[in-house]
Structure 1
Amino acid sequence: MGGQALRALLARARYEVLPAKATEDKVLAHVPRDVVVTVTASPVKGLEPTLGLTERLAAHGYRVVPHVPARLLRDDAHLKDVVERLCAAQVDDVFVPAGDADPPAGPYDGALPVLRALTDMGRPFADTGITGYPESHPLIHDDITVRSMGDKQAHATYIVSNLCFDARVLTDWIARIRRRGVTLPLYMGVAGPVERAKLLSMATKIGVGESARFLTRHPSWFLRLAAPGGYAPDRLLARSAKGFTEPSTGVAGLHLFTFNQIAETERWRRALLDRLGG
């Protein structure tokens, strides 16, 4: 499975969590401090749960990456307030998707204007992430998403790929965006070892986070996750190992969608590291 290179990707894994009531306790109980934690945002609940959890986890010593969806920002003053609050919490990395709020809360209908605003503010964060779509976005043509990444890369430092369960699609997408001049480091989005019952429960909760909502727009993906024997992250990594570990691909690490199955994800990661000799 790529041995040393794959171990390095697993060691640099990021955990995406949903800002639910029990999330803080789960992270504290199961996630080592050297694992980056990213916190989603909900168009139903707004940014406050994301910002609050980010501040608390940062105070516990985690490196935390909050999602700041453009469509949840009310105006320039709101963006400034969010930036000041995150800087006060010593957050040095943010992830800026467009978000799903419809209609937008303010003037930002996509990520690029927010990224430009952050640049105009003097780049208050050391790192800024943007979204990549290995499979077609449910609302945006693939060529547009690739071109958009090219436009955004002047204001960003890395890309996080959205969920995909097809190793060939992932490796082809990496090659395609590299040919088209997208050079930012990639964190490859991979679903963790989700349990069917918990996934079904999570997916029925409206507005809990972008990763859960994304599944509702891709019902075939949900079936692959929920079906007995339908998905195992080990198999996906085995099939994608070369595409993820070749230096020319620029893959910096894994972005693990936990669906708040945080203990299960960490046990799986540690077990795989042990099997790989890590």
Structure 2
Amino acid sequence: MSFGSTAPTAVSTSLLDDFSLEMTGKDVAGLEEAAATIPQGTRINVTFLGNENLAMRLAAARAVKRLGFVPVPHISARRLGSQRQFEDFLAGLRADGTCDDVFVVGGDPNTPEGPYDDSLSLIRTGLLQRYGVHHVGMSGYPEGHPAIPAGVLWSALNLKATELTEQGLSGSVITQFAFDVDPVLTWIEDLRKRDVTLPVRIGVPGPAGVRRLMSYAARFGVGTGASIAKKYGLSLTGLLGTAGPDRFLRALADGYESGRHGEVKVHFYTFGGLRTTAEWIAGFRKEALV
């Protein structure tokens, strides 16, 4: 696969130097297949899905560590049935030496399964720090959230950033994936104007089938209008095709300014294709340096 040689060097030397990836508890075999292509020390987020249990989540985090990467287990507030379940997960991570970094998120259920309504409530328990967590990631939504008003999202993000500082924890933000760079960079500027200086990892979809990408976009409220699709390289009439984020990354490198946007890296949503995404990144980085 050719990615062309016109990508700015900044794509590789800055934004892509410390990219992160995402996997599920069921992707351990895929991670093992992709391991040789992923730089050692890469941060790999392990999602907290409703159809996976404690043992699967812990095993996935252990696999990430065993293969030489940095595990970032997710904790879904509304999927936790009790404080005991929360502490069992944290205790398991601590016992495995995989608790240093976590990512907290509200989660999909409309009604909480236990006492935690949102990710802020997890942070406020003080349990993260008690069980050895040092860094906490949280979500950002440049194009909004289908079920949460923009004002609520901004307020929650500010409160979480403040709470982490007060607890002596470091933090970062991972954005929902997007097909259009412009609203993402505008959102980061707004974030900085609100005095939130946390590093931001911009969510990028790994190469995948167009139909799959469109399905995830519809689920998460990501813009897919005709002009956006054309800019990204999606063919709305060729749903059986595939698309990679090369145009998005080039546009990101062109628009990114450290003075305006602060510390920014890239986070790849792999949609189950760890090896495909890892190989794509390796090829793109190589040609970006030509």
Per the normalisation by structure 2, the TM-score is 0.81
Q: CA deviation at 1:109?
A: 1.0
Structure 1 residue identity aligned to 2:249: L
Report the 3-state secondary structure (helix = DSSP H, G, I; strand = E; otherwise coil) of the residue aligned with 1:175.
helix
Q: Which moved more, 1:33-42 or 1:162-171?
A: 33-42
Change (3 A) 1:165 1:251: farther
Partners of 2:20 and 2:145 lie apart in 1 by 22
Q: CA deviation at 1:137?
A: 0.2
Aligned counterparts, 1:211-250, within 5 A: 215-218=218-221, 221=224, 224=229, 227=236, 228=238, 231-250=243-262
* 1:7 aligned residue (2, 8, 13): 13
Alpha-carbon contact 2:90-2:128 (below 8 Å) kept: no
Aligned counterparts, 1:184-199, within 5 A: 184-196=198-210, 199=212
**Structure 1 equivalent of residue 3 of structure 2:** none
Partners of 1:110 and 1:250 lie apart in 2 by 27
* Structure 2 residues without counterparts, runs of 5 or longer: 1-6, 165-169
Q: CA deviation at 1:115?
A: 0.9
Structure 2 residue identity aligned to 1:23: G
Q: Which moved more, 1:268-277 or 1:222-231?
A: 222-231
CA RMSD of aligned residues (A): 2.8
Same amino acid, percent of matched pairs: 27
Alpha-carbon contact 1:41-1:47 (below 8 Å) kept: no
* 1:127 aligned residue (126, 131, 135): 135
Q: CA deviation at 1:89?
A: 1.7
Aligned residue-pair number: 267
Change (3 A) 1:5 1:251: farther
Q: CA deviation at 1:50?
A: 2.3
Report the 3-state secondary structure (helix = DSSP H, G, I; strand = E; otherwise coil) of the residue aligned with 1:188.
strand
* 1:110 aligned residue (118, 141, 144): 118
* Structure 1 residues without counterparts, runs of 5 or longer: 204-211
Change (3 A) 1:89 1:191: same
* 1:65 aligned residue (57, 65, 72): 72
Partners of 2:101 and 2:86 lie apart in 1 by 15
Per the normalisation by structure 1, the TM-score is 0.84
Whichever of the two has the greater Rg, that structure is 2
* 2:25 aligned residue (19, 29, 42): 19
Change (3 A) 1:13 1:226: farther
